Amino acid sequence: MTEVIRSVAVIAKTNNIQAEGAARRITKLLYDRQVKVYCVSPLLLENATSTAPEELKRINLDLIFAIGGDGTTLRAFRIIPCKVPLFSMNIGGNRGILAEAGIDSIDDAIYSILAGHYFYDSRLRIQASVDGITTPAALNDFLFTRINLTRTPTLSLRFMNDEMKGRMDGILISTPTGSTGHSFSIGSPVMHEGLNCLMISPIASVNRMPQIIIPNEEIEIKSSHDANLIIDGQEVLMVIAGQSVKISRFYPDAQFIRIHKKGMRQLAKLGF
């Protein structure tokens, strides 16, 4: 069942003329139909109330518009209230694998949403805990990678009551959504977006540790050397040698709003 849209926030790619122009158009369409619009700074829009990213979780919102590329969408999911759905538009971005609409379909998308002609698409997210300190959630992946380029660390992985060890540059833990991102670029398979599983992809493994798809279980990683833990390719946390990094499912799932029914929508965006 769809909800009546009364209050929305608009997040746009910064310093991008196309994305800012689309944000203005979306705001006008919504404002003309008595929808309350907030714009997330540094974006400033006529007929919209400016708000800081950290204030979003205090506002009662029905929907978030993320205008830009996939990077804008990934960033938006880290700052918006957990249960608020998001509509992603690829305007000013590159492939826009996560997006539902582009610059040529702004009006049609808004009309469909306001008419209730949409559905929800839930996506698994993961979070990391470093010695008890929890990171923001990741929609795509966590990259655990060495800092010292002249030393190849030994990584220890524990999951499902088993342990694997090996020397490698790093390891990528991906969700099904993230399987078309960094994971795909290093040769890992594409997973259906609706699966409840995780992909473990070793990077430059000395003993050629294979890629592994496992049920959605907690994964613990330790390194013999200092490393970086990178969240969705955007935020970096330093991990000291021997520190425990535990990656597990984050609740609630990310909620996209969709207006077109498709099978493996992300695979289609890759041109297959």
- CA–CA gap between residue 241 and residue 216 (Å, rounded): 26
Distances (CA, A) of 108 to 47, 65, 68, 119, 246: 21, 14, 18, 15, 43
Which amino acid does the sequence have at 29? Answer: L
Minimal CA–CA distance to 115: which of 46, 45, 29?
A: 29
- Identify any residues that bridge with 245 across adjacent strands, giving them in sequence order: 130, 221
- CA–CA gap between residue 72 and residue 5 (Å, rounded): 22
- Identify any residues that bridge with 120 across adjacent strands, giving them in sequence order: 257
Set 32, 62, 70, 253: catalytic member: 70
Q: Say if residues 221 and 156 touch (Cβ distance below 8 Å).
A: yes
- CA–CA gap between residue 9 and residue 57 (Å, rounded): 11
Q: Which residues of 3-15 are buried (b: 16+ CB within 10 A; e: fewer)?
A: eebeebbbbbbee
Annotation marks residue 70 as catalytic: yes
Active-site residue set: 70
